[in-house]
Amino acid sequence: MVNLSATEDEWQSDDETGYENPYDYDPNAVDENDPTVDGDDPSLNSDEDTEEITEDDEDGALAEIEPMYGSVVEWVEGWFTKVIRRRMGSGGGEGGLAWDERWWLYPEVAGRLTAAWYAWEEARASDKPSAMSHWWIQHLEPHLRVIFDGETGPMSHAKADGSFSGWPALPTQSVPPELLDGLLNDPAKGDL
């Protein structure tokens, strides 16, 4: 606790909350302050997986958590465009944030939204209370920065009249045969 009556020389600014930089967040880190880490909790058996799995039927089939949305299209139309609200720029490369209602025309946008949807479904189904917060910070926000980027993002030159439907695919050349074997071998084995 901060002593507000202390003089400037006595001011203590140590953080007693245990706050850590969210960019250093490791969801698998062990909390050294957790009394169950040393095995003090008899309900936890360190030899067993602590994740609870339920059985669905007599055959022992595992119960799967059904996704809330059946596809990325359903998720974008039913959740994403209803919840995510930003003031968009004028479009057409004029700066600000960019969004094209024909998002599915942009392969990168469709791919990023699909990844965000998968992670959203996983966070929604998680029994961790912080899972959804983690999803917002670690998954959605980095994707939104790219998707909505009005300068260099995939929809940065979207026009209201629909005349722009994305930048062309990146050019590529075929890999020369003498290099192909090295690229196809497992780099972990040191073949490169």
* The residue to which tokens 């939104």 are assigned: 144
Return d(Cα 4, Cα 10) in angstroms, integer: 10
In the chain, where the domains are located = 91-167
Flag whether pLDDT at 121 surpasses 70: yes
**Token pair for residue 53?**
């799995």
Q: Using one digit for the tens of pLDDT, what is the confidence trace for 159-187? A: 888 888 888 889 999 888 888 877 777 56
Q: What are phi and psi of 190, to 5 degrees?
A: 80, 25
Return d(Cα 85, Cα 103) in angstroms, integer: 15
pLDDT higher at 185 or 121: 121
Return d(Cα 49, Cα 102) in angstroms, integer: 44
Stretch 17-21: mean pLDDT:
48
Return d(Cα 49, Cα 54) in angstroms, integer: 13
pLDDT tier for residue 10 given thresholds of 50, 70 and 90: low
CB-based contact 14:20 (threshold 8 Å): no
Flag whether pLDDT at 91 surpasses 80: no
pLDDT tier for residue 103 given thresholds of 50, 70 and 90: very high
pLDDT tier for residue 158 given thresholds of 50, 70 and 90: confident
Q: Using one digit for the tens of pLDDT, what is the confidence trace for 56-88? A: 445 544 457 789 999 999 999 999 999 999 998
**In angstroms, how far apart are the furthest CA atoms of the chain?**
75
Q: Cα-atom radius of gyration of the chain, to the nearest Å?
A: 24
